[in-house]
Structure 1
Amino acid sequence: MDGVELEILWSNLIGIVTERSKALQRIAFSPIVREAGDLACALFDLRGRMVAQANTGTPGHINSLAFAGAHLVRLFEGKCEPGDVLITNDPWLSAGHFFDITILTPIYDGERLIAYIGSTIHHTDISGYGIGAGARDVHEEGLWIPPLKLYERGVPNPVLHAIIGRNVRTPDAVFGDLAAQVSSGHAAAEHLIALCRRHGIDDIETLSDEIIQRSEDATREAIRKLKPGVYHGESQFDVPGGQVITLKTAVTIDAQKGAITVDFEGSTMQVPMGINVVLNYTHAYSTFAIRSCLNPELPNNTGSLAPIEIKAPLGSIVNCKYPAPVNARHVVGMYVPMPILKALHQVMPERVLAEGSGAVWTIQIQGKKPDGEPFTSSMFNYSGGMGARATKPGPSATCYPTGVAAVPIEILEAAMPIVFERKELRRGSGGAGHSRGGEGQIIQFRMLTDQPWLLNAVPSRLDSGPDGVGGGMPGKAGRFQINGRDVSEPRKLTMQADDVVLLETPGGGGFGPPD
């Protein structure tokens, strides 16, 4: 394609998906989407290949959406009509747990299918156990929505809507967020149709071929510049209940083919609590770690992801098999980049980070307001310090690798009967080094209620802090307390009205020997 025309079309595609993603974020009901940006939005061609993603979103959602979109296109090939909207939250087909619901909208110009627009967001509630790790299998964790049509020729599927409405605790919030996904998809469709008509093209297939091929070629060329070989990395961290998880990676750089393979052989096998990770989610954070070091300026699509292969033993904690519980899969999944970065430190030390705090600390609260109305908290994320960089300290209280923001405490206090007594940086928690690790944070809260309430908490790194790299010192481990007593349990806890919860998140590891 002509370079000028390609750039015009490409910038228009990015504008369409980014505008729709930001609109979705603005109109969503859940604070975790509206305030924290826990979402993804992407455009797919007729073959189910992710062509363009919005410039906002989380890696776990974005790269998992690439798989979910491909699966839905394949499953509904030849079965869609104008006005249809597809849905699923199948953990093994999409983003790894029931809370993340994927919506895919076929885009029709008249009766002609020209593309698909998809989004994945984290919903406040999906019934079942909740966001914690205490379920014994996936069926205890919530409502499983197989690949179905949420709308058929523009008409809501009454059976599916009734099932969802009856099986969630906060149906207004869930349907509000689903409506936000559907409406943003319809608006994106209108913009894409207008773009195709304006440039006289019937669909985006030729444009997609050009974008994806150029992205793949550029990624392979970047890999060819690296030193070939096999490089190993390993990370260990404790999870609720005190169990230590090991993630091992062998990163193989094939400079001749321009390909990278990441193999998790030797990692911990899946466990009987809900921190197991499906391969889609492992793939998402593995490719994010590599691409952020290799060629972050290139578009993220099916082409740029193609040269990176991810392997993990079936039944391992990073490639779990049914019916493993998965609702708190981020507890392990967000550590996936850490051993990869340790391996890449041997190849491109100036581009990697030391270990950070890893998984954001997730708290879910369920209870009743003083007037008796039930509430389920939106997931709010509390991050520790990021690992230090070669020439800069690690950012403090920053969600890495997920990239979501913490929901402001004012929003939470307005949405439910909670009061925050402390929220401050945890000074001195970052590891020493030539560059110092980022600081964790301290959060203390209690509930303004006169009756018991339920707490799902999944903190990690309570026994040992993140490793430094290149001679840097480790960051401090975290601390989770209830009424001044250390707690580390994977199960849902029944709390009393006057209980006080304290979180001290880990600091990031240092980079290089201390000066």
Structure 2
Amino acid sequence: MDGVELQILWSNLIGIVSEQARALQRIAFSPIVREAGDLANGLFDEQARMVAQAVTGTPGHINSLAAAARNLLDNCDADSLQPGDVLITNDPWMSAGHFFDITILSPIFRGERIIGYAGSTIHHSDIGGYGIGSGARDIHEEGLWIPTMKLYEAGKPNETLFQIIRRNVRTPDALMGDLGAQVSSGIIASDRLNALCDRYGLDDISELSQEIITRSETATRDAIRKLPGGTYHGASRFDVPGGQVIDLKTAVTVDAEKGEIVIDFEGSSPPSSMGINVVPAYTHAYATFAVRSSLNPDLPNNAGSLAPIRLKLPDECVVNAKYPSPVNARHVVGMYVPFPILKALAQVIPDRVVAEGSGAVWTIQISGKDRAGVPFTSSMFNYSGGMGARATKPGISAVCYPTGVSAVPVEVLEATYPIAFTCKELEHGTGGAGKYPGGDGQRIGYHMRTGRTWLLNTIPSRLVSGPEGLLGGGDGAAGVFQINGEAIADTRKREMQPDDEVFMITPGGGGYGAV
């Protein structure tokens, strides 16, 4: 395909999928989607291969969505799909790893033929069950499990499924509003893709998608071939709620001849009894993100550029969750997956990696009744620590690396829920020393304005030891979590008293290079 023509069509595809994401955020009810951008949007060809992703979204959602489209179609009668059908699932092993992330896939028809699919995954405010914390003992305590089903059939809602969902969640209006936003964004993608075909005289996008995917895969393999072949090892150790210590170990094998990278997690911690286990799709999502962002981050993120990166996962491993392991807080471990990979890659491309950062975002969920007795349950809101330093720049303070999700402004939270913040500011000096210092964490304090008891779900990590520096850089500071001034290690869901105050300091990032 002519390079100029390809660039024009590619720009159109990016415009379509980015408009799809903007529409989803504008329509969404929940702050976690509308303000924080905890979402993914992808455009797929007729073979369910991801061709393009929106410019916003999290790696954990986007790269999991890349696999989810094929999984959904393999678990339904794809030949029976008709205009107006919308598929849905929140199966952790088919999509993004826990019940809160619901994936929607809409076939895009041109006449009577499917020419592609519009997909989205977002974190929903509630899915029943335990909530966002890690205290459930198996997956069936964690909430409502939606198998692959049709949310809409020929444009008509599946009323039975809608009733089941509404009766199983604490905030049905928010969840239904967010589902509606996902469906609407798919309609927009369908309209825009058909308009593109009309504009350029295309019957479908099969030739275009094949060209994009082939070029992306070739460019990724070429980037891998420039690395010295061999196997490089990395390891990361961190504590999670309850004081449990997790080890993630990787052997990154570069096959320079084939242009492939294989990442083996042999030696990593076994499955946990807590809900922090990670399904393979989510592990793959953050592992591929670490490699892709180090090799050639300007390449499109699609089925082609992801293909040369493969994983080997031990059967009994915290990053290879098996049914019925609890997984609701899978991000607590999953967001640490890039760090041992980056440590291995630092041995061959030290100028293109970052030091360890604070890792998983600290998630908070509050619920109870306000002063008028009206029940409320928040979607989770996140606070990050410092990012690890880079080879030529300091780490960024209070940035959610590697997830990229934004923090919901305190003004929005205070306007939406009966919560009052006493502080939210950078905690200077928490980043590790080095030629380039790590980013600083932040301090956050809050209490509730309900005058009643309330429930707190929160999942801090790195309360014992901070992120490691890289190549002689100093370690970042560990985090602090207190209730009424007392350090708390067991952060499972707890009943809080009306006047209780929560105080947190998130970890600082590791430094890069000796001073």
User: What TM-score does the superposition give when structure 1 sets the normalisation length?
Assistant: 0.99
Q: Distance in 2 between matches of 1:314 and 1:58?
A: 27
Q: What is the aligned partner in structure 2 of residue 41 from structure 1?
A: 41
CA displacement 1:236-267 (0-9 Å, x = unmatched):
00000001000000000000000001110110
Q: Using the alignment, how far apart are the partners of 1:483 and 1:346 within structure 2?
A: 45
Matches of 1:26 and 1:393 in 2, distance apart? Answer: 34
Which letter does structure 2 place at the counterpart of 1:277? V
Mapped contact 1:273–1:490 kept (Cα < 8 A): no
Please report how far the alpha carbon of residue 110 of structure 1 lies from its aligned counterpart in structure 2 after TM superposition: 2.6
* Equivalent-residue separation in structure 1 for 2:46 and 2:487 (angstroms): 53
Unaligned runs of 5+ in 1: none
- Give 3-state SS (helix, strand or coil) of 2:504's partner: strand
What amino acid is aligned across from residue 73 of structure 2 in structure 1?
A: V
Distance 1:55 1:123 in 2: 20
Matched, 1:316 2:307: no
**CA–CA distance in structure 1, aligned partners of residues 209 and 393 of structure 2:** 38
Q: Secondary structure at the match of 2:263?
A: strand
Q: Could you tell me the TM-score, scaled by structure 2's length?
A: 0.99
Q: Deviations over 1:33-77 (max 9, x none)?
A: 000000000011111110110111100000000011111123332
Q: Where does residue 237 of structure 2 map in the other structure?
A: 236
Once the two structures are TM-superposed, the CA of residue 194 in structure 1 deviates from its matched residue by 1.2
| Partner of residue 211, structure 1 | 212
Residue 384 of structure 1: how far off its partner (Å): 0.2
Query: For residues 125-145 of structure 1, what are the alpha-carbon distances to aligned partners after superposition, in whole Å with 9 as ceiling and x for unaligned?
Result: 000000000000000000000
Q: Percent identity?
A: 70
Whether the 8 Å contact between 1:45 and 1:114 is mirrored in structure 2 is yes
Matched position secondary structure for 2:80: coil
User: CA shift at 1:199, angstroms?
Assistant: 1.8
Give the structure 1 partner of residue 492 of structure 2.
Answer: 491
Q: How does 1:472-511 map to 2 (within 5 A)?
A: 472-511=473-512
SS at match of 1:289: helix
Aligned to 1:280: 281
Moved more, 72-81 or 251-260: 72-81
Other-structure match for 2:4: 4
Partner residue in 1 for 2:307? 306
Q: CA deviation at 1:371?
A: 1.1
CA distance, structure 2, for counterparts of residue 314 and residue 14 of structure 1: 38
Deviations 1:170-227 (A, max 9, x none): 1000000000000111011011011112222221111111110000000000000001
Give the letter for the 1:100 counterpart: D
Instruction: Assess if the C-alpha contact under 8 Å between 1:48 and 1:74 holds in 2.
Output: no
Between the two proteins, the alignment pairs up a number of residues equal to 514
Alpha carbons 2:370, 2:452 under 8 Å: kept: no
Structure 2 spans left out of the alignment, 5+ residues: none
Match of 1:168 in 2: 169
Higher alpha-carbon deviation: 304-313 or 195-204: 195-204
Q: Counterparts of 1:244 and 1:303 in 2: how far apart (Å)?
A: 36
- Distance, in Å, in 1 between the alignment partners of 2:371 and 2:58 is 35
Cross-structure match for 1:185: 186
**Root-mean-square deviation over aligned CA pairs:** 0.7
Q: Give the corresponding residue for 1:23.
A: 23
1:114-513 paired onto structure 2 within 5 Å:
114-513=115-514
Secondary structure in 2 matching 1:82: coil
The one-letter code sitting in structure 2 at the alignment partner of 1:366 is S
Counterpart-to-counterpart distance in 2, 1:488 and 1:311:
33
What is the correspondence of 1:44-83 to structure 2 with a 5 Å cutoff? 44-76=44-76, 77-83=78-84
State the shift of 1:404 in Å: 0.5
- Preserved contact between residue 356 and residue 467 of structure 2 (Cα < 8 Å): yes
Contact 1:47–1:73 (CA<8 Å) still a contact in 2? no
> How far apart are the structure 1 equivalents of 2:341 and 2:172?
40
In 2, the alpha carbon distance for the partners of 1:33 and 1:359 equals 18
**How far apart, CA to CA, are the structure 1 residues paired with 2:80 and 2:331?**
34
SS across alignment from 1:290: helix
Give the Cα–Cα distance (whole angstroms) in 2 for the partners of residues 192 and 176 of structure 1.
Answer: 25
2 CA distance for matches of 1:301 and 1:512?
34
Distance 2:2 2:36 in 1: 39
Residue identity matched to 1:47: Q
Distance 1:269 1:238 in 2: 14
How many angstroms apart in 2 are the aligned matches of 1:74 and 1:208? Answer: 21
- The amino acid across from 2:41 in the alignment is C
3-state SS of 2:426 partner: strand
CA distance in 1, matches of 2:47, 2:411: 44
> What is the CA–CA distance in structure 1 between the aligned matches of 2:374 and 2:229, rounded to whole Å?
60
Q: In the alignment, is the contact (CA less than 8 A) between 1:45 and 1:116 conserved in 2?
A: yes
Report the secondary structure of 1:78's partner residue: helix
Contact 1:87/1:149 (8 A) holds in 2: yes
CA distance in 2, matches of 1:100, 1:315: 24
Aligned letter for 1:65? L
Contact 2:125 2:378 in 1 (8 A): yes
For the residues of structure 1 that align with 2:127 and 2:73, how far apart are their CA atoms? 24
Q: Distance in 2 between matches of 1:80 and 1:488?
A: 50
